[in-house]
Structure 1
Amino acid sequence: MYAYILSLTGQNSQKYKLILHFVPLVIIYLLLSDFFILPPEKKIFIYRNGGDKYISFKQNINALVMVSGVLYVSLSLLSLRKYKKEISGQYSNTEKINLNWVYYLIAGISVIWFCIIFTGDIITFISVVLFVLFAAYFGITKAGILNLTEIKNYNAIKKEETIVSPVSVKYQRSLLNEDTIQSIYTKLVYKMDTEKLFKDPDLNLDHVASLLDIHPNSLSQTINSIENKNFYDYINRQRIEEFKRLSVLPENQKFTILSLAFESGFNSKTSFNRNFKKYMNCSPREFLKNQNSDLK
């Protein structure tokens, strides 16, 4: 699962390091080589007698399984957290690429690990079967798992960015003094006010940077320095403000809340509600009620 997440999120640039994770498994198999060459009846005898002379070895393996389970679940969660932080700095809408569904897979793997350690073979087998059925059903019904085009596009962009020398990027960022940052921010605000770039649901950092003719790192640093936000939060705040403006106009009272949310640049009801509550500390309906709006 950990290797899958690294591959899915484009964090496996040094693939040879993944091989190191299989070293303990190879060592275990080597230590059990004498068991593997035993005749079948001897293997059955050892299994029925709880491991026979392999009891202490089995206990050590169980301890390693417990440690590795906690370790790899933790590493998987940390990798997802890192990925979500990265895409928040690149995209204004992350619904299609946030990989929230992976948390269900991690939870399923954790349950199986728990069953392996603390329960018998039957319960473990049942948990594995249920997990496979759940994963199959989830994979078929949830397009986000099978259609990974958006994530592949993100990884492709990420690979292109790694071509840029880290040293050059470092110096480029260091050259941004207060005046430069303020100049970039002024251009950004002007673009947002006049062209309402935030209305594009697929708006991303690279596109805005290209419109301003600056490096994406410079734009990201500018937003972070002045707004104290990442790109995702900055753009969605603009969308919330646009929704508030549209919702009080008399000519818009015939529209629904969701239609105005889409008009403001959001691409899903979930994203709109979550961001609105984050910035306004109330739901859209509660806000409109206080504004005496007739939107539904």
Structure 2
Amino acid sequence: MLTPLSISGLTLFQVIFAWQMCFAAILVWQNPKSRCLVLFFVFQALLCVANVLESAGYSLAGYVITPAFTVAMGPVWYLSVRTLVGASGSVLQSGRHLLLPLASLGLTDFVQPLIALGSVMLLCYLVASLKLLRDYRDTVYQVHADAPTVGLNWLTWLLGGYVVLSLTDFVRMNVQPITPMPWKAYWYFAHEVGFFGILSLLLVRVIKQPHFFNRLAQYQALSQPEEAAQDKQLAQSIFEAVDAQIREQALFCQPRLSIQHIADQLSLGVKQVSWAINSVSNNNFSNYINEIRLEQIEKQLADPAYAEVSILSIAMDNGFNAKSTFNQAFKARTGMTPTRYRTLCRAQSTV
């Protein structure tokens, strides 16, 4: 038989949760590109504080306000992600997403309807956030040679986990009037631990990845397919100029090479360069640059003059800035690890 989970235990956890969210807000403030997440972490801290106060019997003029937080959770997530990736939208457009949460502050007598509304809104906004992250992924591969470094796949997975947790929390909140104690307390505590874990991982990943590409609105059109057929000869001509520039000047050795840099050097438009690379090489910009890097690395691994140079040094000298990214790309291209490839090359040269 389950023993009741004490209110003091839940309250202590909420206090710890609130403290961690305040600490997270202070940490992310240090990086201007992730500063937009301060709003999100502060919001979570205020929610924890509201839970603590209401569980202790305190309320604002007799009203419970935590249901309004449920309505606001989805918009806060979405606006945080949208600002992080630099999606288009004015302050006025952003403010519209907060109108319903603000209006719900005057409707807190209708606790269960607000919880149901907030749960549905949260799922809808999380799906919209995942779509933004998909657009971000497609765009960053069109713009940056080091796309995996500034990628946000980890955030996509965290949001996916948050969606799953939110679905079960949706059930919990809407059946709590008929849920007996102590199941209600344990179920609530389990979800709080889950959310605490996801948000802790969010903080760790933001700190570990200080570089973000936050200009989605500026370059998003590059990831969209061209509607009108353009001159293939023109594409070939532009591509040859781009390819020559990159190879002759060894631009691929720059870890943070961007398509904007190439376009500026050739006095071309970014969209022209992107279209030419996509049309002729059948690759996005990131994969195209990595193919050139891997070609050079294969030659150097087979060259006796580089026999004493470490594989990691060769990879870094040719533009890769992460060992895991290099190993994954090399194996995808050759079907073997760099060490195995070098060993086979040495064996063939001695035959």
Q: How does the TM-score come out when normalised to structure 1?
A: 0.73
Q: 1:70 maps to which residue? A: 123
Is 2:191 the partner of 1:127? yes
- Cα deviation, residue 108, structure 1: 4.9
| 1:103 partnered with 2:156 | yes
- For residues 212-223 of structure 1, what are the structure 2 equivalents within 5 Å? 212-223=266-277
Conserved 8 A contact 2:302-2:345: yes
Distance 2:308 2:234 in 1: 44
Match of 1:88 among 130, 138, 141: 141
Q: Counterpart of 2:203 in structure 1: which amino acid?
A: G
Select 1:254's aligned residue among 303, 308, 313: 308
Q: Name the structure 1 match of 2:98.
A: 22
Distance in 2 (CA, whole Å) between partners of 1:141 and 1:27 is 34
Deviation of residue 200 (structure 1)? Answer: 0.9
In 1, the alpha carbon distance for the partners of 2:114 and 2:216 equals 42
Q: Which residue of 2 aligns with 1:42?
A: none
Q: Deviations over 1:65-120 (max 9, x none)?
A: 45334322221211111001111111000244212332354245335423422343
CA distance in 2, matches of 1:15, 1:247: 53
Taking the aligned partners of 1:247 and 1:228, their CA distance within structure 2 comes to: 26
Structure-2 residue corresponding to 1:279? 333
Pair 131,31 (structure 1): closer, same or farther in 2 beyond 3 Å: closer
Range that drifts further, 255-264 or 239-248: 255-264
Contact conserved, 2:139 with 2:216, CA < 8 A, in 1?
Answer: no
Tell me how far 1:193 sits from its aligned partner.
Answer: 2.9
Q: 1:12: Cα distance to partner?
A: 4.0
- Compared CA separation, residues 109 and 138, structure 1 to 2 (3 A): closer
What SS does structure 1 have at the residue aligned with 2:90?
coil
Deviates more, 1:211-220 or 1:63-72: 63-72
What's 1:199 paired with?
Answer: 253
Q: Check conservation: 1:253, 1:293, Cα contact below 8 A.
A: no
Superimposed CA distance per residue, residues 210-263 of structure 1 (whole angstroms, 9 cap, x where no aligned partner) = 122211111111101111111111101111111111100012122222121112
Structure 1 unmatched ranges of 5 or more: 36-53, 167-172
| Equivalent in the alignment of 1:116 | 169
Taking the aligned partners of 2:342 and 2:85, their CA distance within structure 1 comes to 39
Query: C-alpha distance in 2, partners of 1:25/1:213?
Result: 48
Residue 155 of structure 1: CA displacement? 3.3
1:8-43: CA deviations, max 9, x gaps?
A: 0011423433334334435544444xx3xxxxxxxx
1:155 alignment partner in structure 2: 214
Q: Secondary structure at the match of 1:201?
A: coil
**Conserved? CA contact 1:92–1:204, under 8 Å:** yes
For 1:293 and 1:18, the matched residues in 2 are separated by 62
| Structure 2 segments unaligned to the other structure (5+ residues) | 1-76, 173-183, 222-226
Judged with a 3 Å threshold, the aligned counterparts in structure 2 of structure 1 residues 103 and 178 are, in CA distance, closer, same or farther, namely: closer
TM-score (norm 2): 0.62
Does the alignment pair 1:139 with 2:206? no
- Over aligned residues, Cα RMSD in angstroms? 3.3
**SS state of the match for residue 208, structure 1?**
helix
Which residue matches 1:189? 243
